[in-house]
Structure 1
Amino acid sequence: MPKRNKKSGGKAPKRPPPNPAPASSSDEENDTAELRALVARVEALEKEKAMRDAGLGDGGSTSGAPPPSRKSTRKGRGAKLMEILSSRLTALEKPVERHAPPGPPVVQVQASDPEEQQHSQGASCQAVPMPSTGGAFPSAGTGGAAGARSDAPLALDPWLCRAQHVIWSALAPSTRHSYQSKAREFEAFRAALALPQVWPIPPEHLMRFLLYLHSINVACRSLSVYLAALAFCAKASGFADATADFRVRKLVEGLKRICPPMPDRRKPITPGILVRLINRFEVLCSTPYESLLFRTISIIMFFGAFRPSEVLYASAGDESGRALQLQDVLIKADGVIITLRRSKTDQRGVGFKVRLGLAQNLALCPVRTLRSYLAARPAVRGALFCHVDASPVTFFQFRVLFRRAVADLGFRAEDYGLHSFRIGAASAAADLGLPARDIQRIGRWRSWAFKYYVREPDER
């Protein structure tokens, strides 16, 4: 028998402790760290999805991605778990297509009939990037839209595109263009200040925008146009109108009190100035036909109190059909009837007939002048006022000649514009003592706005 050690008190010697478990390899440690990161991302996304669903199914459960235990460190099981988590994570992070009303600045509406036909046939609308809506857009399916990324595209249903097209078609083309331009300015302002581009618009955003416009010397009258544009954009998309907020309204009112609007400095074309003006055309125009053409335009615009957009083309490629056409004129023995098919105050195209009678002054008689012009005009259909080559007269062409003639007469060209004919018609009617109702009817004003066109003798 082996001898016992006396120092140990006769007890058997202790066995050495077992060797410690070998430390996990660096690969396994990296896998564990990646797994934990994936689990954290999945849990966060599933928790957010559960809150969005608000009880629609077991969206917030995280039982499918249990935290890895220390025992599961073998490479095969770790790789399998990473594959499962990665697939679930990809599904959660996939952008969700949201069906929502289009944002104000991106609605594009054409005034031509082919465009109308295209939309009526169910033409598809292209998805456009939309700003974050703060949960204002309705969800598309059980996943909802509030938690989707703000840069995800919005897929618009064809019927919704058609509805937006028709809503924006209720505006005049010039108004529609102005509204969309001002909406883009507002969104650019918010982007420059890193403000969230959410709809409905927070009133604080509007207040900051109005103060910015005022700081760059935008007229107070134009501030109302900006508000009208943003109000229409919001209502057309089904959002609340933030421009009706008490603070926004009082802010505009305060700015108008601080900086009163400048009075309209445009002067009227009086009958005396009109005679001198058309005589000057004979010197400036290169041919007798051109002189007769611009003379007729001036006389018709004065006696008919026409807006420039009702008579002339906006550009050579203008296809809106708003300018006067040859078939819009009916010559009679005692006068002429001009049909306005559409105007600023007649957006639905009901039409209005303007009757012009004979004048004692032969040089300014609209009926005789129009007859002479039609006899010399090229025998083609289309624009009423056209050049020898049948191309229509545009705003720019007439304005250039008009201002040059005004300057040659010794007047300041900046004091007169194409609206001076309309201002002159209202002022002349007031000088004749016509009642307010008659002046309103002559200029086709639907309100008392005609008073802004009447100039007192000392203002001319």
Structure 2
Amino acid sequence: MDASAGRSPQGRTVGQVSSAGAGGGVSWPAVSRASVEGGVTMAMSLVERSVSAVTWQRYSAVWQVWEVLLENAQAGIADRQACLLYFIGNAYSEGASAATVARSLSALAFWFKKKGEEDVTKSFLVRQAMKGFRRGSAVRDRRKPVSFELLVAICELLREVCVSAFEVRLFTLAFSLAFFGAFRISELVSASKSVAGGLLYADVDLDGSCLSCLLRRSKTDQEGRGFVVRLYELPGSRVCPVRGFREFVAVRPEGPASLLVHADGLSLSKFQFSQVFKKCILLSGRGGAGFSSHSFRIGAATEAARWGLSPAMVKKIGRWESDRYRLYVRPHLL
């Protein structure tokens, strides 16, 4: 038999792969074009899972707008920076906030990297344009905080807004949790009434006067390490979250995964939370302008600071990892 049979031109036996060291290495499977494509598809699905479902939806929406912009401008790869500068300038002219534009840039940066394209959001001109945007913008985040007094008022008004005593208990608990727990709306309630979401019933535990709420994942915890929010009893208060929890679970239907559900078992949705809150604000005589579901989280930081809590404690309440919490302290807007 020819000694060269089965060997490559360099003399190495075809199909053999040397190990990565004395102790052996990774055992690589046989590779075909189909298996490579399947592996890439799986890896891309893992990239999608690296961010929350809400963040993925927001990133996807921004990318769709970007593709329409490129199409309308008939822009090629070389023109992407110009299109991005146009996007920033147009947003400034229309009075958008710098924070909103920055979030859009973060979404675009994600997609550029995912697609292996140059990340033009990091270019000198784009960074300087955003710096000027922040300095020169007359538009600021003017969302108002929910104060403790306003929380009490809107919870009293639920009797006029809600159609049943069950709904009054449901929204009293929802509003008190949103305020005292400084919850983001996506952490507290479901995106849709037809699916389970937000804070789960199984993740809430009442031990005496302490209500523990496990957040499995949040905006600042994409890896799912988890964080326990502990709320304590406020004796004699109608907006006490511990009291609200006891009164609600006494009538809550068994079975649904979400903590905050209607009498028919359907989840309380973000839309429903916001609409009932808006009606209560209007009835309170404060006017609807400036308030949103995020006003509870802003109110938690504002009131904590007004009550003299230390910066470290305010950060802990809102689960902030930086001094960004200062942007949420707005006593001048009470």
Short-chain TM bin:
0.7 to 0.9
1: CA distance, partners of 2:99 / 2:293: 21
1: CA distance, partners of 2:211 / 2:104: 40
Matched, 1:206 2:81: no
The correspondence for 1:247, drawn from 125, 134, 143, is: 125
The correspondence for 1:270, drawn from 143, 147, 151, is: 147
**Structure 2 match to 1:416:** 291
The one-letter code matched in structure 1 to 2:68 is A
**Structure 2 match to 1:236:** 114
Q: Given that residues 220 and 261 in structure 1 are in contact (C-alpha distance below 8 angstroms), is that contact kept between their aligned partners in structure 2?
A: no
| 1:95-134 matches, cutoff 5 A | none
**Structure 1 match to 2:333:** 459
Q: Given that residues 193 and 269 in structure 2 are in contact (C-alpha distance below 8 angstroms), is that contact kept between their aligned partners in structure 1?
A: yes
| 1:316-327 matches, cutoff 5 A | 316-318=193-195, 321=197, 323-327=198-202
> Residue deviations 1:244-287, cap 9 Å, x none?
21122122223333x41522222221121111111111122222
The correspondence for 2:64, drawn from 161, 176, 184, is: 184
> Residue deviations 1:349-399, cap 9 Å, x none?
111111111113332222122111111111223111111111111111122
TM-score, normalisation: structure 1? 0.61
**Structure 1 match to 2:243:** 368
2: CA distance, partners of 1:201 / 1:236: 19
**Structure 1 match to 2:222:** 347
The one-letter code matched in structure 1 to 2:44 is Q
1:171, distance to aligned residue in structure 2 (A)? 1.6
Matched, 1:256 2:134: yes
Question: Residue 169 and residue 440 in structure 1: after superposition, are their counterparts in 2 closer, same or farther (change >3 A)?
Answer: same
2: CA distance, partners of 1:408 / 1:253: 41
**Structure 2 match to 1:130:** none
Q: Given that residues 143 and 290 in structure 2 are in contact (C-alpha distance below 8 angstroms), is that contact kept between their aligned partners in structure 1?
A: yes
The correspondence for 1:313, drawn from 190, 194, 200, is: 190
**Aligned-residue RMSD, C-alpha:** 2.1
The one-letter code matched in structure 2 to 1:170 is S
Larger relative contact order (Cα-Cα within 8 Å, sequence gap ≥ 6): 2
Question: Residue 431 and residue 176 in structure 1: after superposition, are their counterparts in 2 closer, same or farther (change >3 A)?
Answer: same
**Structure 1 match to 2:8:** none
> Residue deviations 1:41-77, cap 9 Å, x none?
xxxxxxxxxxxxxxxxxxxxxxxxxxxxxxxxxxxxx
2: CA distance, partners of 1:445 / 1:190: 36
**Structure 2 match to 1:441:** 316
2: CA distance, partners of 1:209 / 1:381: 44
2: CA distance, partners of 1:276 / 1:223: 35
**Structure 1 match to 2:49:** 169
Question: Residue 283 and residue 164 in structure 1: after superposition, are their counterparts in 2 closer, same or farther (change >3 A)?
Answer: same
1:442, distance to aligned residue in structure 2 (A)? 0.7
Q: 5+ unaligned residues in a row in structure 2: which ranges?
A: 1-32
1: CA distance, partners of 2:95 / 2:139: 12
- SS of structure 2 residue aligned to 1:176: helix
- SS of structure 1 residue aligned to 2:229: strand
- SS of structure 2 residue aligned to 1:356: strand
The one-letter code matched in structure 1 to 2:333 is E
Q: Given that residues 92 and 137 in structure 2 are in contact (C-alpha distance below 8 angstroms), is that contact kept between their aligned partners in structure 1?
A: no
TM-score, normalisation: structure 2? 0.83
1:328, distance to aligned residue in structure 2 (A)? 1.0
Question: Residue 361 and residue 424 in structure 1: after superposition, are their counterparts in 2 closer, same or farther (change >3 A)?
Answer: farther
2: CA distance, partners of 1:443 / 1:307: 9
2: CA distance, partners of 1:453 / 1:337: 24
- SS of structure 2 residue aligned to 1:184: helix
2: CA distance, partners of 1:273 / 1:168: 40
Question: Residue 269 and residue 223 in structure 1: after superposition, are their counterparts in 2 closer, same or farther (change >3 A)?
Answer: closer
1:166, distance to aligned residue in structure 2 (A)? 1.3
1:214, distance to aligned residue in structure 2 (A)? 3.8
> Residue deviations 1:291-332, cap 9 Å, x none?
11111111121111111111111112345x4x1111111111
1:219, distance to aligned residue in structure 2 (A)? 3.4
The one-letter code matched in structure 1 to 2:288 is A
Q: 5+ unaligned residues in a row in structure 1: which ranges?
A: 1-139, 141-155
The one-letter code matched in structure 2 to 1:273 is L
Q: Given that residues 221 and 261 in structure 1 are in contact (C-alpha distance below 8 angstroms), is that contact kept between their aligned partners in structure 2?
A: no
Aligned length: 300
1:209, distance to aligned residue in structure 2 (A)? 3.7
Q: Given that residues 201 and 242 in structure 1 are in contact (C-alpha distance below 8 angstroms), is that contact kept between their aligned partners in structure 2?
A: no
Instruction: State, as a whole percentage, how many aligned pairs show the same letter.
Output: 32
- SS of structure 2 residue aligned to 1:330: strand
1: CA distance, partners of 2:274 / 2:316: 26
Q: Given that residues 358 and 365 in structure 1 are in contact (C-alpha distance below 8 angstroms), is that contact kept between their aligned partners in structure 2?
A: yes
Greater shift in the superposed pair: 168-177 or 403-412: 168-177
**Structure 1 match to 2:169:** 292
1:414, distance to aligned residue in structure 2 (A)? 1.9
2: CA distance, partners of 1:211 / 1:416: 27
**Structure 2 match to 1:403:** 278
